[in-house]
Structure 1
Amino acid sequence: MSSSVRRVRALAAVLVAGALLAGCSTFSEEGRDQYERSRGAQPGAVDGGDSGGSAKPEPPYDVRPLLEPEKKYLGVAADGAPARMGAVEDFAGRAGKKPNLVEFYSAWGDRYEQALVRNSWDYGALAFIAWEPFGTSMKDIASGKEDAYIREYAQSVRELNLPVALSFAHEMNGFWYPWGTERTSAADFTAAYQHIHDLFGEEGATQVIWVWSPNVTHPMPKVKLEPYWPGDDYVDWVGVVGYYADTGPSTYQSLYGPTMAQIRGFTRKPLIIAETAAQAGERKPAAIRSLFRGTAERDDVIGFVWFNFDKETDWRIESGPLSEKTFKQEAADPRFGFDVTKP
C-alpha cells in the first residue's frame, strides 16, 4: 500500500472521529522527478554538494537566530511546493506578503531532498519537513535497525549546510497514524525520536531545527502529552497541529489553549502552529482573524503554517472572497514575516 493511500485512510479515520485534520503529502515522486530534470539531474540521483574536494568546508550553519525570532513566521504548505514555487507565489500574491516557511512531507525511506530545501531557501523561506515514518516502527528505529538510512539522511543534511526544520512522526498523540496511540507506546516514540536526534549529532548535522508536533488534544483529551516529550535537549520548537473546522473549537483559545497549557506544564520551548487552516464556510473569516490575532498576542508562539490545499475541504485562503480579503488584511500586520536569510 502506498504512503499516500495510507494518509488518505488515516485522514478518513480522523474525519469520521470528527477531528477534521489534513496532514497529507504535498509532493509526489513524479513532481520530484520533473523538478530534477529541470535542473539537469537524473531523477532519484543524490544531490551532492561541491565535488571539488579542495575547497575549505564551510562552518555548520548556525540555526540559533532562527529559533526565537523577533517577528513571526508566516508559513505555507502549497501544491507542488517547493519543487515548483508557483503555488507559493500565488499564495504570496493573495496574502500580500511572502511566506518565509514552506512545509512539505517526506515518507520514511525517502532521501533528504537537498534540491527542495535549497529551492525554498533561494525563494527566501526556511524548509519545514514533516518526516512520516510509514513502513517502519518506533521500536525498530530505537533499536538501531534503521541506522544506516538515518545516518545517510543526516550526512546529506550536513553536506547541504542549510537550515531546515524537521518534524518527525507528527500527531503521535492521535490514533490515525501507525506511530500513533493505537500501535505505538509513548516510551517507544520518545526512544525513537531521541535515537534519531543522537545519530544526527554524531554525524555533525547541526543544521536541523527539531520540531515535536502533537495534535491539539480535544479529539483525544485522555491522552496526556508529557509521556511523549523527548526532553528539552531534543526539541527546538513545539509544533502544534490544529485546524478550524465547522464542527469543533472556533476560537484560538478553545482550539489551542488547552494543548498549549498542558505543554507549558513541562517545557518553555517556543511554540509554532505547525499545520492549520480553516474549513470553507461562514466561519472562515472569523477563524482567520482568530489565528492571526491569537498568534500575535502570544510572545511564545513564533508563527504558523497554513495548509493551502483544496483537499477534503477547501482550506485555501481563496476559498471565498471575504476569506481572502481577511487573510490579506491580517497578514499586513508587521509582526508577521521577516527575512529568514537575515534573522
Structure 2
Amino acid sequence: MQFRTRTRTALTAVLLATLALSGCSVLDDSNSASPAGQAEGGGGASEKADADVPYDVTPLLKPDKKYYGAALDGAPNSMKAVDTYTQMTGKQPNLLEYYAGWGDGFDASGVRKAWKEGALTLMSWEPFDTSLADIAAGESDAYIKKYATAVRKLNLPVVIDFADEFNGHWEKWGTKYTTPKDYVAAWRHIHDTFIELGASNVIWAWSPNIINPVKSVELKPYYPGDAYVDWVGLIGYWTLEEDNAFSSVFGPTIDEVRTFTKKPMLLLETAAMAGERRRADIRNLFAGVEADDNMLGFIWFNHKKRADWRLEASPLALKEFKRLAADDRFGFDVRKP
C-alpha cells in the first residue's frame, strides 16, 4: 500500500516421483527440522524415511482457529521483538511476516526459530531489481532452484507471498512496469520450479492491495489460478480519510475476488492509523475477521513507515487490542493445528 514502504499445492504422484532430487531434509544435527507429522526425537530407518517426505501443510491451510500475526522489526531472525510484542499484547503471534528482496538467500535460521516458538513464517518476496518478464523467461532459474532446494531441505512449512500489491502503480512490479500476463507467467514459473524440486512445504499467498485506491485495475487477469494459489492475502489499512467499517475497507476487494476464486483469505498486512479512531478501527478489524469463516486471520504491520502503525503509539487502542486478542479464537500453536 502506498501508505507504507517495504522492506498444497497438494502432494501428488508427480511430487513423490521427484523426491529423489531433494535428498536429506535436514541441514545438520544442530539445525534439523522434524519430519512431517512426526514428533522430535527418536531415530532409525523409519525416521530417515519420513524425513524424505515434504512437510504436509494441509492442516495449516484452513485451521479451526484464526491466525494472529504480526510484522515486527528483526523478526524472525531475532525473536526479541516477538517477545516484546507478546508481552505488550498478551498473546504470542503465531504468524510472522518478513520481507526479502529478490536475490536474498532463504532465512532458514529465522524460520526455524519462529517454528520452535510455535509460529509460522510468511515471506514477502519482492523483485525490486528483476523484471517479471525475465523471471518468467528463466533468467533467474539458478537462484530460484537454489532457494527452493533450501526451503525443501529445511522441511518446515513456510508461506510465500510473491510480488504483492501488483495492482498498485507504486511498486516496481506494479501496473506501471509489468503486465498481467508477465505477472502470471512469473508466478507460475516460480511455483512450478518449487514443485519440480519437491518443495511442496510452501503455502502460496497471492496478495493484491485492496482495490479502493486503484478501482480501475481488474484483479482477475493477475490471478495465477487455483492450482497455483493456496491463500488470497489482502493488503489494506485503516486510514483517517476513509470510512472505517470493515465492509468499506475490505468488502469491495473481497466481493471482486469471490467472482473468480473461493480460496481462503488472510489480511496479510493491515493496521490502523494512530489517533482517536484507532480503538474503533481495531474493534472492526477483530469483528470482521471473526465474522467470516473463510477469513483466516490477520497480520498487524507493527512498523513506523510513513505513518506510525505501531500499537504502542496509542496506549488506549493498545489496551483495546489486548482485550480482543485474548479471545481464544485468535492464535494457536501452528505445530499442532
Superposition TM-score, scaled by structure 2 size: 0.87
Sort the Cα spacing of 1:125 and 1:162 in 2 relative to 1 into closer, same or farther, 3 A: same
Among residues 237, 240, 256, which one is paired with 2:250 in the alignment? 256
Secondary structure of the residue aligned to 2:250 is: helix
Note if 1:334 corresponds to 2:328: yes
1:302 counterpart residue number: 296
CA distance in 2, matches of 1:316, 1:297: 25
State which of 11, 19, 24 in structure 1 corresponds to 2:6. Answer: 24
Residue 187 of structure 1: aligned partner = 181
- Asked if residue 108 in structure 1 is aligned to residue 108 in structure 2, the reply is no
Shift in Å at residue 248 of structure 1? 2.1
Counterpart Cα distance in 1 of 2:264 and 2:29: 37
Q: For the residues of structure 1 that align with 2:187 and 2:172, how far apart are their CA atoms?
A: 15
Aligned residues: 303
- Matched-pair contact (CA < 8 Å) for 2:77–2:111: no
Deviations 1:215-259 (A, max 9, x none): 000111010100000000000000000011111241210000000
Determine the structure 2 residue equivalent to 1:45: none
1:324 matches 2:318: yes
Q: Give the letter for the 2:96 counterpart.
A: V
Residue 79 of structure 1: how far off its partner (Å) = 1.1
The amino acid that maps onto 1:50 is D
**1:240 and 2:234 matched:** yes
> Alpha-carbon deviation of 1:23?
4.6
- How far, CA to CA, are the matches of 2:245 and 2:114 in structure 1? 31
1:324 and 1:95 mapped to 2: Cα distance? Answer: 7
Structure 2 equivalent of residue 30 of structure 1: none
| Residues 273-284 of structure 1: pairs in structure 2 closer than 5 A | 273-284=267-278
Match of 2:195 among 195, 201, 207: 201
Q: CA deviation at 1:62?
A: 0.4
Contact 2:5 2:305 in 1 (8 A): no
The residue aligned with 2:20 is none
**Given the alignment, which residue of 96, 117, 127 partners 1:123?**
117
Whole-angstrom distance in 2 between the partners of 1:82 and 1:191: 30
From 14, 17, 27, the equivalent of 1:49 is 27
Q: For 2:71 and 2:173, how far apart are their aligned partners in 1?
A: 22
Is 1:79–2:61 an aligned residue pair?
no
Q: Which amino acid aligns with 2:238?
A: Y
Q: 2: CA distance between counterparts of 1:249 and 1:135? A: 36
Deviation at 1:95, TM superposition (A): 1.2
Pairing 1:68–2:68 present: no
- Look up the SS of the partner of 1:233 in the other structure: helix
Q: In structure 2, the residue corresponding to 1:97 is in which secondary structure?
A: coil
Q: Cα distance 1:310–1:178, how it changes in 2: closer, same or farther (>3 A)?
A: closer
Aligned to 2:335, the other structure's residue is in SS state coil
Rounded to whole Å, the distance in 2 between the matches of 1:62 and 1:279 is 38
Alignment partner, residue 166 of structure 2: 172
CA distance in 2, matches of 1:178, 1:296: 34
C-alpha separation between the residues in 2 aligned to 1:251 and 1:138? 35
Which residue identity does 2:59 align to in structure 1? Answer: P
- Paired residues for 1:205-224 under 5 Å: 205-224=199-218
In the alignment, which residue of structure 2 is the partner of 1:40? none
Of the candidates 278, 285, 292, which is equivalent to residue 286 of structure 2?
A: 292
Q: Which amino acid aligns with 1:321?
A: P
**Sequence identity (%):** 52
Q: Secondary structure at the match of 1:305?
A: strand
How big is each residue's C-alpha offset from its partner over 1:179-218, in whole Å with a ceiling of 9 and x where there is no partner?
1001100010000000000000000001100000000001
User: What code does the residue aligned with 1:24 have?
Assistant: R
Structure 2: gaps (5+ residues): 8-25, 31-43
Match of 2:128, as an amino acid? F
For the residues of structure 2 that align with 1:23 and 1:195, how far apart are their CA atoms? 27
Equivalent AA in structure 2 for residue 317 of structure 1: L
Matches within 5 A, 1:82-161: 82-161=76-155
Helix, strand or coil at the partner of 2:273: coil
Say if 2:263 is the partner of 1:269.
Answer: yes
How far does the alpha carbon of each residue in 1:125-163 deviate from its partner, in whole angstroms, 9 at most, with x for none?
Answer: 001000001110111011111111001000000000000
CA distance in 1, matches of 2:78, 2:194: 28
